[in-house]
Structure 1
């Protein structure tokens, strides 16, 4: 946060007994249901979501606290601080604190992002036209049609974002809308009515709760991913140094003698689940498996590859790595030395993308040609999609949906979702990142809703 928007003085003021106890009440509104449900402390929540996210979440509760009027005197921390300590702050900081005092947390749709400078924000809860916001930090990562929960405050003639901003996924947005419909007594309504400022202030904690439940669920799902045997995903790379004089022919003979080893080429084997002839692979009803399955229905338990002077076993769990290691040691005996094992979580594997050589799938052809080929494919794909049922449109095709006013709104949201997912492509050199959906807005006749 810029020095001119420094809230350190207010935060120190928070340590006073009368404010510390009141802040605990607001903090509990924002995090109590989550911490109680998970039987955890805030510090444990921070370990799961990360320190930076935890600080942003704490800031959401703090900014909400700044708007609160409590019984008795003093009733508001900002009023009291400016009265007693305001003379220490510059004019811009005082204006910022005053703006936060009367601020409202809302959900905005972002457009026309100029990195490092500005964005347009459309209030999805209070309605109205998009407003221009001066912003230097968040605009470096925000993309077209992102949805954010934030406080936009006027300071000395400019609209700026307060310090705590939450990026809302589609799932978190739906959860928030469902909660707000319930609060408004419109649970069965199709559309959320415009909400007044005072009503939004009363439900500020709902933004935090909706965001955290979504983020926490995704984080826990990622940590608890399992393979078909129910083992936790943990990638193991086991490297066996080869003894002197071992030849490629020796390796092939030993590996091909292991039940389930299927040779792909001179240096690579798939390690498949072994099913004796006449037996069928057992079906796991309702099991979600991220394992690779071959055309013959056999699951890939791992891979074995000859790399230089090493025989390398890769498996996605500790249990599979242990079993594969035992098989190789039994088959190879003294032909391999004591192995070295590298262990990586699925998060670490994902963080390693794109590939270490930095190449994209299209790097074997000129970038201009790759982009043309991929864009032509996307044109064909989305043109076919216009006549296919879309889940976000209630099972209707886009062409069917635009025949009603409600359907037009849903189609606009769907197109924004497609554009947003493309804009968030991490590799900006990827040809899909430059794909334009402009023609779809025009063909479906909803271009007037692209704002």
Structure 2
């Protein structure tokens, strides 16, 4: 977390159990592709780009998290949750700023009319429209007319201001944003516009094309991060070629098998059978990792850590134990995941024997590594 962060109370709230998984997921979407492509981590990235830019990217990712609903079934954002329970601790202006952030989108802006330490004009290059005057103190001392910045512009009490996550895009990076994200925005805008015309739906005077473009931007912030990082890192680091094999030298083919539970079979009965298997380690109450039978550890294991070494993908527990497959018990369905055909076949035999009569025939999905990591 950057020092002196304006949203410090909200940052602390985000570390609660209810929100930790979503926060980790959003940060992984922002940084994971670059970490995988260049074989780096957060510490190495900060070493390469410096603390200032690292803090800016952190803020970009965190502000993206602030806009995300908890789940498909629960549309609350962490801002909704925080303001309901702890909003009384914040000033009215900070509460309004949080609400504006919650409803914002990340976009690419061209700045002009800079008055150092006071304000600037910003024109949205993706959504279009006239430039707006933005009250901004720090950034206006470093930017120059014509710079293109990625960030969120929010309106609070009738004034526009920049959110904390702001990065400058060089000419090539900005052109890539306009060419890739801009094209996808247009595609979705055209699609929704066509649907509105076909259905005759009354949108209250709103432009259906701009609605579609805005909807696209609501989820696009990680794409900006990936483009910015790629242009900063390429030339300084060689990209790591995607792995082709797992740790046993088998071709990577990610199998996910969904087994329906047989009618009348309880989750407790499934858990009891899986807990009794000597080659399974429980990660939590509903997740087991299938490990090498030579490993005798039976303690509760922490999460899996994927690593690429010598062109091979290694899935290991934090203690270094290799993971051959993972099993997750969800309501009514048992999920088996393995990263090669041979491992999947072996795991299927293990489950068929251990859970005979308790699970049905699985639905199988198979993906390559490239398909899984594709943005």
TM-score per shorter chain, which class?
A: 0.5 to 0.7
**Partner Cα distance (1:48, 1:2) in 2:** 20
Please report the RMSD computed on the Cα atoms of aligned residues, expressed in angstroms. Answer: 2.5
Q: CA deviation at 1:152?
A: 0.4
Partner of 1:147: 148
**Higher share in strand:** 2
Look up the match of 2:108.
Answer: 107
SS of structure 1 residue aligned to 2:120: strand
Task: Please give the alpha-carbon distance, in whole angstroms, between the structure 1 residues aligned to 2:90 and 2:120.
Answer: 28
Alignment of 1:24-423 (within 5 A): 24-71=24-71, 72-73=73-74, 75-181=76-182, 183-184=184-185, 196-217=213-234, 219-220=236-237
> Helix, strand or coil for the counterpart of 1:179?
helix
Deviation at 1:220, TM superposition (A): 4.3
Contact kept? 2:19, 2:70, Cα under 8 Å:
no
Q: Deviations over 1:238-286 (max 9, x none)?
A: xxxxxxxxxxxxxxxxxxxxxxxxxxxxxxxxxxxxxxxxxxxxxxxxx
Q: Does the 8 A contact of 2:185 with 2:216 survive in 1?
A: no
- Give the TM-score taking structure 2 as reference length: 0.54
Q: Write 1 or 2 for the structure with the bigger share of helix.
A: 1
Cα offset, 1:179, TM superposition: 2.1
Q: Deviations over 1:122-178 (max 9, x none)?
A: 110001111100011100011011100110001112100001101010111122123
Distance across 2 between alignment mates of 1:164 and 1:36: 23
Q: Distance in 1 between matches of 2:86 and 2:64?
A: 21
- Tell me if structure 2 keeps the 8 A contact 1:74–1:80: no
Report the equivalent of 2:9. 9
Give the whole-Å Cα distance in 1 for the aligned partners of 2:150 and 2:123. 11
Q: What does residue 263 of structure 1 align with?
A: none
Q: 1:184 to 1:152 in 2, by over 3 A?
A: closer
How many aligned positions are there?
A: 216
Q: 1:116 to 1:219 in 2, by over 3 A?
A: farther
Q: 1:161 to 1:218 in 2, by over 3 A?
A: farther
Pairwise CA distance, 1:32: 1.1
Deviations 1:46-80 (CA, angstroms, capped at 9, x unpaired): 11111221111111110001011122447310000
Call closer, same or farther: CA 1:102–1:181 in 2, change over 3 Å: closer
Conservation of the 8 A alpha-carbon contact between 1:10 and 1:78: yes
Q: What is the DSSP-based 3-state SS (H/G/I as helix, E as strand, rest coil) of the residue aligned with 1:121?
A: strand
Aligned with 1:196: secondary structure? helix
Contact 1:122 1:130 in 2 (8 A): yes
Q: Deviation at 1:17?
A: 1.4
Contact preservation (8 Å) 2:67, 2:102: yes
Higher relative contact order (CA 8 A, sep 6+): 2
| 1:122–1:128 contact (8 Å) kept in structure 2 | yes
Bigger drift between 101-110 and 196-205 goes to 196-205
Residues 179, 206 of structure 1: 8 Å contact kept: no
Aligned residues of 1:104 and 1:200 also touching (Cα < 8 A): yes
For 1:160 and 1:104, how far apart are their aligned partners in 2? 13
- 1:20 is displaced (CA, Å) by 1.1
Residues 2 and 49 from structure 1, CA distance in 2 versus in 1: closer, same or farther, beyond 3 angstroms? closer
Q: Is the 8 A contact 1:100 1:153 kept in 2?
A: yes
**Deviation readout 1:386-410 (Å, 9 max, x if unpaired):** xxxxxxxxxxxxxxxxxxxxxxxxx
